[in-house]
Chain A
C-alpha cells in the first residue's frame, strides 16, 4: 500500500488533487481511498488531503500520519512543522518551489515551479493539476494517460489549460 499526503492552502485545489489522483489510480486498476481535512473552508487556510492506494480493498479507517509520498503545495507550510511529521524516512517529497531546493532530511526530494506553470497556463493559483503532472514524473506506477483521463472527468472548467499544466509540470520537475 502507498500513502500520499497533500498539504496546501484553501484555493490550491488540494482536495480535488487527491480525488483526481484517486481516480487515476482507480482507472489503472488499483483500489484508492481518499479524504480531506479542513481547518475551516476558506481560502488561504491550511488544507490536508490524503490518498491510500493498494492492489486490494483497503480496510484502514484511520488517519494517515506519515505518508510514503508528501506533496507540498505551499512551501511555507513545511516551515511551520517538521517535514518528518508528514513523511516516512526515505519517502518522496514533492514541493512547489520557484527555486532549487535541498533538504537535510532523509527523503527523496523533487520540486517544480507549479505556481509559474499554473499561472502561465491561465489557471491562476489553482496549482493542483501541475502538482499532479510532477507527481506522475516521480511515481512511474502511474502513466500520464490515466491522469489525463481523470483530469478530464474531475476538472469543472479550463480542461485543456489543466492538461497543459499537467504535461508541462511533468517535463519541468527537477531533483537536486
Chain B
C-alpha cells in the first residue's frame, strides 16, 4: 500500500514490519520522529516488542547489545552527537557480533551547533566494524532496514541504515509499504542464539592475549568482506520478492561517459537530474551512487569508473585536514591501477546547504575545463563555478 510518509516514518514502518522485539533509544533531532513513531506503535500494540527509553545513547547501545545477546531482534536510531556518544559501545557491538540494526539520520556534529545533514556523524564511525548503507530516499530506507535484518542475522554483524537529515528524514513522499506476510517470508526465522542468560548474568568480555585478539579481529575483518556478497544476495532476493532493488552501487549511463559524478544519499537524486540535463546538452555524463560504504565496494568502483577520464566526487562530509571521505576511499580503491581517471573531490551541501541540479551541472562543466585535479578538495561553498 502506498502512503505519504517522511523518511523517518518509513524507517519506523520497517521496524514494525520486521517484528522487532526490543528497541532502546534516546531522542535527538532529526531522528526524534523515528523514536516517537515507534513509541506510538508499541503503545498501540502495532509493535509487540518492548521499548526502552534510555537515559543516553551510550546506555541505549549497551542495552541493545545485551538484549541482542539473548537472541532477540533489536533496533535503535540516532543522529549526530547521539552517535558520537555511542562510539565506545559501537565497537563492543561489532566485536560481540550482535546483529543490531540502527537507523542513522545524518546531522552535523557540533560545534558549531546546527541541525542540517552532514554524513560526518556516521562516517566518523567508519572503523567501528559496523556495516554502513547510505539510502537515497524514504522508500530505500524502509526497504534497506528490512534487508539489513536479513544481512545482520546472516553474518552476525551490526548494520547502520543511513539517511540524510531533513532532505530524507523530513521530506514526505509516497512510500510503498510492503505486505507483512511477504516481509515474514523474506526475513530469516527468528532463531538467534541465546548467548546471555539474564537469570544468571555474567561478564562476557574476556580478556585475551595478542594471539586471540588478532584471531578475533582477522575473522571479523574477513566476515565483513564476505558480508558484501550477502548484501548483494539480500538485495537481489528483495527485488524478486518486492519488485525493488538497489545494488551496493548503482551505475547510471557510465558505459559511454566521458565524466562520472559520484554521490551517496539524497544528493544522488539531484545528480540524476544533472546527468539527464547534461546529456541533453550533449555532454556524456554518468553517475555512480555508492550505497555500501563498509565494506567499501572497491571492485565495483574500479569496474564502473576506471575507464573514465574524469571523476567528480561530491561529499556531504569532511575529514578536516584531508578531504571528502567518500573521495578518499575512492582514490584508495584505484591507487594501484595503471590507468586511472583524474579524481576531483568536492565538499558541499554541508548542514544541508542547498545543492540543486544546476549547481552539480556547473561543477561538472568546471571539471571538464580543468587540466589537473588539486590535491585538496574544492569547497562548493563560496566558489563561483
On A, residues with C-beta under 8 Å from B are 19, 22-23, 26, 31-36, 58-63
Contacts and interface: CB of A to CB of B under 8 A. Distances in A.
Given A22-B4, A32-B4, A35-B166, A60 B356 contact: yes
Contacts, number: 50
Interface stretch (B20-28, B263-271, B323-331): B263-271
Interface stretch (B168-176, B183-191, B232-240): B168-176
Interface in B232-286: 266-267, 269-270, 272-273
Contacts of B103: none
B273 A33 contact: no
Contacts of B273: 59-60
Interface string B306-317: 000000000000
Contacts of A33: 171-173
A62 B168 CA distance: 11
Given A58-B173, A59-B270, 14 more contacts: A26-B4, A33-B171, A33-B172, A35-B166, A60-B269, A60-B273, A60-B357, A61-B137, A61-B167, A61-B168, A61-B171, A61-B270, A62-B167, A62-B356
Interface residues of B, number: 21
Nearest to A150: B4
5 contacts: A19-B172, A22-B172, A32-B172, A33-B173, A60-B273
Contact of B172 (A34, A60, A62, A63): A34
A26 B270 CA distance: 22
A61 B266 contact: yes
B269 A32 contact: no
A26 B175 CA distance: 12
Contacts of B267: 61
A125 B113 CA distance: 33
A59 B287 CA distance: 14
B172 A35 contact: yes
A32 B270 contact: no
B368 interface: no
A3 to B, nearest CB: 12
B227 to A, nearest CB: 28
A20 B174 CA distance: 14
B174 to A, nearest CB: 6
List the 7 closest pairs (A to B, CB-CB), nearest first. Answer: A62-B356, A59-B269, A61-B266, A61-B167, A61-B269, A63-B354, A35-B171
B355 interface: yes
B349 to A, nearest CB: 9
A32 B2 CA distance: 12
Nearest to B115: A38
A173 to B, nearest CB: 26
A65 to B, nearest CB: 8
Interface string B334-364: 0000000000000000000011110000000
Contacts of B174: 26, 31-32
B138 to A, nearest CB: 10
A156 B276 CA distance: 42
